[in-house]
Structure 1
Amino acid sequence: MSNDRGARFGKRTPQRPRDALKPSPSPSPTSGDGLPARDVAVSALFSVLVEKRPFDDVFAKASAARALAPRDRAFARLIATTVLRNRGSLQAVLRTYLEKPLPEHLGRLEHILLAAAAQLLLLQTPPHAAISLAVDQCRADRNGRRFGNLVNAVLRRLSESGSGRFASLDNATLTFPDWLLDRWSRTYGVAEARHIARASLSEPPLDITVKSDTDTWASRLNGIALPTGSIRCSHVGRIEELDGYADGAWWIQDAAAALPVKLLGDVSGLSALDLCAAPGGKTAQLAAGGARVVAVDKSAGRLTRLNENLQRLGLSAEVSVADAQSYTSEMTFDVVLLDAPCTATGTIRRHPDILYLKRPEDVAALAALQAKLLRQAARLVKPGGTLLYCTCSLEPEEGEDQIAAFLAEHGDFRRRPIALGEAVVPLLWRTADGDLRTLPSNFPELPEGLRGLDGFFASMLVKSDC
């Protein structure tokens, strides 16, 4: 079933305990009345939900076109991502104030209502600002201008009595696509699937990988040092203004994404090939560990950003624009890292647009691509070397099943299980075969706002010496 359920405010409104975000204060925009920031948020929502385009791409384009100041940009992003994480519940509440469903083909009207509802129910925006600017947006839209009075009335009623109704809803069921919840229920069990879904709908904290001295930097950044070696911070403002950023002391990287390279141990002096390298967090880890790194990606633009990050960090790597499916080299490598393209269902908390962009058939299509990439990567590993495969997907076809199929086809490789004494990987995160499997519901013991982890899978495969 499509994850467009409830589109145009249909009739589905189950009343069960909700799993939505708790309200948090929203930053005040700095440009005039805040209309440009709200316009960018609505434009990005329309692009994701109607045109099925990736959020980061459309948001960057829309915010640049309006020349938003950093604070306005942050506010626009917060509105849009809050809607994406809570769309099902927001639609359900709005429905209760509409006598009949909205007509089709009303341009941005639905998204204006959703953005305003998110501000009123979740972001603690003053009602007069959220309502009046939503009405202004509606009247400026040629398809929705005749509904200005309706929008005003609905949002006023919502601001007065919507919180209780919103709090009674099951946001995970209403917002997640059925096919994905069903998949996770089969793979992880019904209870764990719900834990994963709830965690995936929470706004993530900021995770940082440092070159050295984790405890000192945790203190300087007002964060906590995770058992895995990453630093975790709550709301921090602009990244570029944080202590140590300009000096290249650290980089942004989810704690789960930082684990695969750590499993390799000491990489000093080793030759390492990072396929599908952008945005470059693992390239930086390998380079910081003393490896001689070749970073390959088919996107020249993404490699430009990777190079900029390496320059800021004072690290070096040989960078090559190439498709990993056909990449060849005159040499083989001690380590080949393949962070393969995937459905990215483990990163919904950071990329909630995945809920609206991915389809069930994507799993099989991407698994087929991963198999091709693995076969090519295997050719580039020197005898005795290690092939490190990882994805940020929660789907077994892109993780456990992929490795089982690879080993059945490649008798010259064997799995290197994660050592039981590996300090950075709790036993719970090791699969029965000794691979790595993290879930968004991990770290439940941390304080609220600091919990969770990207869903990640990694397997280390060693090539025989002969």
Structure 2
Amino acid sequence: MDIPGLPARRAALNLIDAVLRRGETLDQAASAALSRVRGDNDRALARAIAGEVLRWRADLDALIDSATRQPLPEDAKPRAVLEIMLAQVLRLETPAHAVIATGLPLLSGGPRRLAHGVFSTLTKREVTLPEVPTLPERAAQRWGAFGDAVAAGLAVPPPLDLALRDPGQTVEWAERLGGVSLMPGHVRIERGEQVSTLPGYGEGAWWVQDLAASLPARLLGKPAEGQGMMRVLDLCAAPGGKTMQLAAAGWQVTALDNAGRRIERLKENLERTGLKAEAIKADVFKWEPEEAFDAILLDAPCTATGTCRRHPDVLHRVGERQIAEMAEIQQAMLARASGWLKPGGRLVYAVCSLERAEGEVQARGLDAAGGLTPVPVTEGELPAGLSPDGEGRVRTDPGMLAEAGGLDGFYIARWRKD
């Protein structure tokens, strides 16, 4: 007999397993895990359950361990099922009877009785989760005291940020969309709406882009007046948010990315917004420009730990090996990109990572290499409430602007070619 809602819970279990056991991202795992789930609502539910488990796993496990005589093995299926059940009750406010009806069928025999007993014990105790999630041990060790600020931004899934094609219409679009603006060209709305049905989507008036992710292109500035068309290279450009920002600001944009599917998405976004850019599918380590550029934006491949409030899988997947691999790629890309700048041209480097090896260490390495002069970021170039660090670079984390909904973690640095 089919149990309504069971496929969504089974899919959530498979999503979590793919992240924790195989190191996949939630997006990578979604196609296979959700293949047997019918309906957008149930697919969204599976993703929501998996996301909440990954945000709060350490705290959910502490509750489970408090109700068992002997700790369950970390990879035991009853533990995973209990995580799913508790996440629904404590985070998604699902009635306990519905949780039991759709959770216990994921197990059989003795484990089912064990899970039922533990769940009943905890619900009778009326247990709660802390206000702020406890970080996984590896992440907590890497980030130290900085991790407290990161964790503070993880408790609630983030709102939706939109970047406007015309910053001059910020007030108008904030009113039409029922949102708020934290700086010109930005509108923040509550999550949960189908993006394609919102006003302005069809006419290409805006695109989805986290506020922190919009800062690198903003910090590149607008083309200088009176010097004709100025050329900018957007490296690792897809899916195109920064490309569209640069095109809307008046640059002649060359957008480079090595992923064909992502380049196609970039082209679709350009078509929807009516903005123009040259989109090239190529490997940055093999491609050579015909002439130097007036400006270059390198939003480099990274571990993406700064996106943990939207992608909590990164809290569990990323370790020292992945950080070292990404840092090596970033260093090589910076060296290559800096050679494509005209004298006087500007380079902006950015990563959506919280790791110093991918941010501060890379910037200081380029400083030491010579040939480029740092251009400090000023407070007036940033949203209210954000400030550059002592070196004029920008470091954001998910705990910043928390009262307004937070933002992703980024590191951004800027130079001028001598």
> TM-score, normalised to structure 1's length?
0.83
- Secondary structure, counterpart of 1:225 in structure 2: coil
* Aligned residue among 90, 108, 124 for 1:121: 90
Matched, 1:294 2:254: yes
Alignment deviations for residues 196-239 of structure 1 (CA, whole Å, 9 cap, x no partner): 22213431111110112111111111110113642111233222
**1:153: which partner in 2?**
117
**1:378: which partner in 2?**
338
Alignment deviations for residues 381-440 of structure 1 (CA, whole Å, 9 cap, x no partner): 122211111111222222222122112113x21111224543x34584212121222222
**1:357: which partner in 2?**
317
Shift in alpha-carbon separation, 1:155–1:368, aligned structure 2, 3 A: same
Name the CA distance, whole Å, in 2 between partners of 1:79 and 1:32. Answer: 17
Amino acid at match of 2:312: P
Shift in alpha-carbon separation, 1:196–1:102, aligned structure 2, 3 A: closer
**1:430: which partner in 2?**
388
Matched, 1:59 2:30: yes
Amino acid at match of 1:155: F
Name the CA distance, whole Å, in 2 between partners of 1:215 and 1:104. Answer: 50
Conserved in 2, the CA contact under 8 Å of 1:271 and 1:335? Answer: yes
Name the CA distance, whole Å, in 1 between partners of 2:355 and 2:75. Answer: 35
- Secondary structure, counterpart of 1:282 in structure 2: helix
Q: 5 Å matches for 1:1-20?
A: none
**1:14: which partner in 2?**
none
**1:133: which partner in 2?**
102
Matched, 1:36 2:7: yes
Structure 2: state its 5+ residue gaps.
none
Return 229-238 or 454-463, whichever deviates more. Answer: 229-238
Shift in alpha-carbon separation, 1:211–1:103, aligned structure 2, 3 A: closer
Matched, 1:230 2:190: no
Amino acid at match of 1:452: G
Size of the aligned set, in residue pairs, is 411
Structure 1: state its 5+ residue gaps.
1-30, 140-144
Matched, 1:180 2:139: yes
**1:97: which partner in 2?**
67
Shift in alpha-carbon separation, 1:228–1:443, aligned structure 2, 3 A: farther
Shift in alpha-carbon separation, 1:311–1:51, aligned structure 2, 3 A: same
Name the CA distance, whole Å, in 2 between partners of 1:42 and 1:421. Answer: 46
Conserved in 1, the CA contact under 8 Å of 2:216 and 2:297? Answer: no
* Aligned residue among 356, 371, 375 for 1:416: 375
Amino acid at match of 2:201: Y
Q: 5 Å matches for 1:338-353?
A: 338-353=298-313
Shift in alpha-carbon separation, 1:105–1:41, aligned structure 2, 3 A: closer
- Secondary structure, counterpart of 1:336 in structure 2: strand
Following superposition, the deviation at residue 315 of structure 1 comes to 2.0
Matched, 1:333 2:293: yes
**2:49: which partner in 1?**
79
Alignment deviations for residues 44-77 of structure 1 (CA, whole Å, 9 cap, x no partner): 01111112111111024322x1253221122111
Shift in alpha-carbon separation, 1:87–1:421, aligned structure 2, 3 A: closer
**1:21: which partner in 2?**
none
Determine what percentage of the aligned residue pairs are the same residue. 39
Name the CA distance, whole Å, in 2 between partners of 1:79 and 1:279. Answer: 27
**1:404: which partner in 2?**
364
Conserved in 2, the CA contact under 8 Å of 1:85 and 1:202? Answer: no
Amino acid at match of 2:114: L
Q: What is the Cα-based RMSD across aligned positions, in Å?
A: 2.2
- Secondary structure, counterpart of 1:100 in structure 2: coil
